[in-house]
Amino acid sequence: MRRFSSRLWRVYHTRSSTDRCILSFYNNLKSRHLVQEQTIRQAISFSGVGLHSGAAVKMRILPAPAGSGITFRRSDLDNFDIEAVGRNVAKVSYATSLMRRGVLISTTEHVLSALMGAGIDNVSIELDQLEVPILDGSARPFLEAIQRVGIKRQRRPRTYWRVLKPVEVRDGQKFLGVYPAERYSISYTIDFPHPIGIQSYDLDLAGDIYAREIAPARTFGFLRDERALRNMGLIRGASEENAIVLTDTGVKNGPLRFGDEFVRHKILDLIGDLALLGHRILGKVVANRAGHAMHTAVVSRLLRDRSLWEEAQIAREHDDVPETATAEPSPAVLHR
């Protein structure tokens, strides 16, 4: 009887072990067919000046483990970390700034936009100053550097936030809404004085559209506002090399990269600000005359109300997708 019980124990536990192996294999196979998190293959270095502070800054973007997200690190302040998430938003006038325990990181939107456009989930961004370098005023230098070093796919499925209910923020004629959809798409309208006027742009963030149509668009400003902004301690690093300068009659330092470069840059900013959700969204974003304050207000709403979204994972359409800088794959299947 004792011998029979021993054999039964061995058979039961052998089968349990086999079942566990099969389940583990199935889960690994399933996860390989989902869109996975990504980081960069090696560190990237930049140097330049802050748009508003005018301070010289050196910055590095480094690979980070799966699940760690995007973190800013002040190397001049004992490597103090500030997570790129909505709860750390501090200022939103003329740029988006993050703060934790009194430590500031300013003008985060361009580098965060480039990381979203490249499909990067996990990096550490080291700076020796309080402001991200403005470079040429667009996201293109960041994106091109990511493309040069390459992207590393990580062994963790990416979790998206699929919008379930409309989220709207209004302020007079300004408006920003996010609506349920199976893809991340944006429709943006701006209305500025001459020579910009009204511009609109719609795009679906798939494939290399971000790299081609949005990343090169530069920040801009009116020459007539320069003195007032400098008196406020702003745009001390601005120049014709890192911003489009507008006069009452036209563009002072043309040519433009696109005829509608201004609205495209607003989309670039929006993508960077929505990165502060800590997740990419599946939803339709509609904006009219919005800006950093409204972008981050929507981030706060989504973070506060868990009923507005659900977590989702996307199945890759092709298993042989090269690890290059792209925006979003087509969401063929969603797994909750």
Tokens representing 270 are 């929006």
Q: Which of 36, 48, 55, 67 is nearest to 104 (CA)?
A: 55
Query: Which active-site residues does the annotation give?
Result: 292
- 132: number of Cβ within 10 Å: 26
Element (H or E) spanning 296, and its range?
helix 292-304
Amino acid at site 206: A
Q: Which of 76, 56, 158, 72 is nearest to 111 (CA)?
A: 72
Residue carrying the six token digits 């550097």: 145
Residues whose CB falls within 8 Å of the CB of residue 282, separated by 6 or more in sequence, listed in order: 160, 161, 162, 163, 181, 182, 183, 184, 312, 331, 334
Burial of 326 (0-12, 13-18, 19+ CB in 10 A): buried
Residue carrying the six token digits 């040519």: 255
167 close to 181: Cβ distance less than 8 angstroms:
no
